Structure 1
């Protein structure tokens, strides 16, 4: 047990390497760090810097072909790296907890969430009865703000949203009152409001449970909002360590300055997004609705309707970057399937160059699919592991029969070069490719058909900010060269700020605000949009204050949408009329559209001009407790 004021964990001279037939490749080099009780240590670095390997080394969870080659990890007077596996396994879960980046695959889908946590708790605390263990878990579920915790205890993982699943994993980690929590990139798969809730929740729980946290992320803005001290990791080396405020104000290492410079600017010094190359409409969405029938678990042979998309309308001009943003579950992905003609709407029309795509069949539909492509989020599952990279990219050419087989390799190699992939990878399998390289394979597979419209459904959300920036530069180059129109569907507002000329904001299946980029970020007229903007992780000062706008909880069930304004149950400015009348999109004086009874006039004023530049924001940050 550590004494008051003494370190909880000390890492000295830790090195990890990968051993293979070709030799030994270092992954981590002579890592030294200290974790103090009740503190939050942030670790920041790009993909490939060794963050996840370090997080696993801290709990002695390194497996072949990786191996620890030197160093010690001392906790409670013992070197964890020298402990027998039985003793180490006893520490994991009891005193040291670990949360990974993928909440959806962390639990058994066939067992209720609460029951899985209960079995873990009784394994580490066998003295607890099942009744006492169940009560502790339900109390902790309530502490992490999961609604109706007693009911959720008996629900399965598929019934949890991504945000609630991450909260459940926090419960799984904290229910045994650990002294140290390792959180590895836990906010990357989450939308901005849920990520902001998780950060605030971790800070509260860290104090309530007297737990120290090692918080690891590739997003500097996120780490800076929760950590007391920060370590910067570059290619397996610690290049800088400072208190967060000092590091943001006066970074000492060139790599740290480079990381800070790469954090997207949203309000101070944000670049103007590209304007559309033409005014003619290429995509016209008219009052589109999509409803799914699901089985009613409370009645036999009965069904209920999920209102996934409700009366969505907008237009996209040729050569434009059009953004669609919103929380998980707002209908963005359903809309992407409708726009790409994977599903047909129950009502309304989607016109591509004045042709209703839902009415096309056979050869007409196949010919249309050449002209627009859908790029999905997961860079791993979107590529067949058993197929070569060249064969994967060539598949659309084979399906459409566009070029003779003898010319396919030449066409594919040219596209690979265009997206930054070496043609030498043509005959190789995708194993070993990074996430960014895999996403380039997906892009090349879409571009080989020379499409006019690309629909990007969270295409970059699995990548760190550096890889995102590289691919956004690629998209910009391709747009200038080919005149491609993009529809960006994302919860990443910093990315949308950089690239999209106009943006639609969705909530519970409906567009609640539609505006040009500058108007939306500088003077949003809908409280939901302001809530999203208040949660953006950034090192800038925010004009939309988290304490005023940050949302709690989840959106209403799309099966039981409340009467009146569907956002009123979470809106800090709701009044009597919001419960009676459902607001419709209204044209405002600045040319934007907003579905709010306040119409912007009843919201707090926004002072963008008074914001401080990034370099001086750290001086105004409150010191973490």
Structure 2
């Protein structure tokens, strides 16, 4: 390869023998060991490895944003032939301009006092002072549209708190792309996104890569996503590069034992066919939680005055004792708003949520507090949801104190038992949570929830921040706890692979509504709604797809929840829509075999409205 950075075929980025160590309390540990690779213009290189393999340290070393305890002790990082390690002034000029970085945690990345659009324009004009404010705004809106932000021209004027988590991630992608960088470093950017948006982001990256010759280093924790995204895949293990091949060769002919292990532990969506799960429900069983006609509206104020966001509407389903009930859908579909209603954090504007015979939505504050002993919530963010100044023991004991349960010694003993059950061990009782990994923090959250011995655990994207290895360990833990204590789970997730593994029944949400409810096997092998097929077509997998993205994947953007069209809200994106879909909104109807779908094309024995527990 030519060493002249301007010559054809020359590498844009060359990393040579990069070594990074961590120095803490006199202990020296190697994080990256002798890393070398090249990245050319128009090339996408995926980097895969489990948590702790050094992926994020590599990404941050390339942009000079490492933590103080990390030091580069050897090697070179050459960008267009110049060493970024030794020429820090040159490296500083490139950051945010020719080299852009996107992280996987968009929370807090933008100024909450400024609109998203104003911050994008400010970033672009700082990099390109020659561009007018109008042209900068037009470019920002075009990019917001490109990453599928609904009603981009209106959302341009909104504040970060008005964006969902998935929309915030897409806004951060726009923030990185707006300067037309030569090198884009994307660090786990699709992990917090739902499958359809993640697929759209990968498609957008490809378009950017081809249109602007942008080189992309794509770092992720999912091997199927890495293979979909990259021309080649580089495998990191314990800080070392153990393999680099084209995506196809890596899957068909993995060379290293670690790569073979990653492939072997991947769960499948369709390859195993029937999974042996008994999906026949006893119609006479009493539901643990019944959701009927639930709706939640939020008032917002824009340039045109007040408007109403229809966040949740027409939601119906039953959760039976012993169920693992999944709720899936795109970012912005209303999953998080529904979670707040199910847990009593907010009250529905219409409908009922009956838990063990009592309406959560109308219960008095005192009664709701008593009900919360029997249902608990485990949140998505393993870092922001735990108080850093409290000891691990105090965190687990806190629910017992709030509800006045037990003596000091009894609370102490129950907290230690809970820590042991989730695999943390009671030796951590007096320590702070600051040193825990993401997986350990989620185990701590589970311990805090189960110490009250609830009947229902509501898991809101609990595993989305973890790599596939850690997810598998947590799913095994949930299975053991459920077998031992008889919990019922509600899994709110965008991860269809996880839902396929653990859920007995699944509800699909689109723009605030439930559009399908079905047993696991029926959902994955015979979905009744075209939106469900689109989700399945976008699910990352190495196996042969049952539903092809080119036939099912959604284009365009969903309607705004502020200005819903008449008829079916999915009609504008549905390849099968016809005149009736533009006029009427279909209700959930029975497809037989205990499956429901809200679509006029459902081949149903009856078109009458079916009960949600049919």
Which TM-score applies when normalising by structure 2?
Answer: 0.92
Residue 498 in 1 paired to residue 539 in 2? no
Q: How far apart are residue 311 of structure 1 and its match?
A: 2.4
1:158 Cα deviation from its structure 2 partner = 3.4
> What secondary structure is seen at the aligned counterpart in 2 of 1:269?
coil
Give 5+ residue unaligned stretches, structure 2: 605-614
Aligned counterpart, 2:36? 32
* Equivalent residues of 1:321, 1:486 under 8 A apart: yes
CA displacement at 1:291 relative to structure 2: 2.7
Regions of 4+ moved over 6 Å: none
Q: Is the 8 A contact 1:285 1:312 kept in 2?
A: no
Q: Confirm or deny: 8 A CA contact 2:166 2:192 kept in the other structure.
A: no
User: For each residue in 1:181-210, what CA deviation from the matched residue of structure 2 results, as whole angstroms up to 9, or x when unmatched?
Assistant: 111111111111111100011001110011
Out of 512, 515, 520, the residue aligned to residue 523 of structure 2 is 520
In structure 2, relative to structure 1, the CA distance for the partners of 1:117 and 1:313 (3 Å cut) is: closer
1:348 and 2:351 equivalent?
Answer: yes
Distance across 1 between alignment mates of 2:29 and 2:359: 55
Q: Which residue of 2 aligns with 1:210?
A: 213
Q: Distance in 1 between matches of 2:363 and 2:96?
A: 56
Shift of 1:3: 1.5
Correspondence for 1:83: 87
Q: How many residues align?
A: 598
* Alignment partner of 1:443 is 2:460: no
Query: How far apart are the structure 1 equivalents of 2:352 and 2:134?
Result: 55
Equivalent in the alignment of 1:285: 290
The CA distance in 1 between the partners of 2:500 and 2:36, in whole Å, is 38
SS in 2 for 1:588: strand
Q: CA deviation at 1:4?
A: 0.8
- Whole-Å Cα distance in 2 between the matches of residues 452 and 149 of structure 1? 42
Pair 1:595 & 2:598 matched: yes
Deviations 1:489-528 (A, max 9, x none): 1111110000111111111221111111111100111001
In structure 2, the CA distance between the partners of 1:91 and 1:525, relative to structure 1 (3 Å rule), is same
Secondary structure of 1:306's partner?
A: strand
Match of 2:55 in 1: 51
The match for 1:6 is 10
Q: 2:32 touches 2:239 (CA, 8 Å); kept in 1?
A: yes
1:254 and 2:267 equivalent? no
In 2, Cα distance between the equivalents of 1:49 and 1:110? 37
Distance 1:452 1:267 in 2: 31
1:277-301 per-residue CA deviation (whole Å, 9 max, x = no partner) reads: 995334242423233341443566x
Distance in 1, Cα, partners of 2:165 & 2:276? 30
**What is the DSSP-based 3-state SS (H/G/I as helix, E as strand, rest coil) of the residue aligned with 1:374?**
strand
Q: Distance in 2 between matches of 1:40 and 1:95?
A: 16
Are residue 391 (structure 1) and residue 408 (structure 2) matched? no
2:429 is aligned with 1:426:
yes
CA shift digits 1:326-354 (9 cap, x unpaired): 11222222222222222332333222232
CA distance in structure 2 between the aligned counterparts of 1:149 and 1:311, rounded to whole angstroms: 26
Extract unaligned runs of 5+ from structure 1.
602-625
1:185 pairs, out of 177, 183, 188, with: 188
TM-aligned CA deviation for residue 422 of structure 1: 1.6
Match of 1:28, SS? strand
Tell me, yes or no, if structure 1 residue 555 matches structure 2 residue 589: no
- In the alignment, the residues of structure 1 paired with residue 586 and residue 487 of structure 2 have an alpha-carbon distance, to the nearest angstrom, of 35
TM-score calculated relative to the size of structure 1: 0.91
Q: CA RMSD in A?
A: 2.2
3-state SS in 2 of match to 1:230: strand
Structure 2 residue matching 1:544: 3-state secondary structure: coil
Superposed, which structure 2 residues align to 1:459-608 within 5 Å? 459-599=462-602
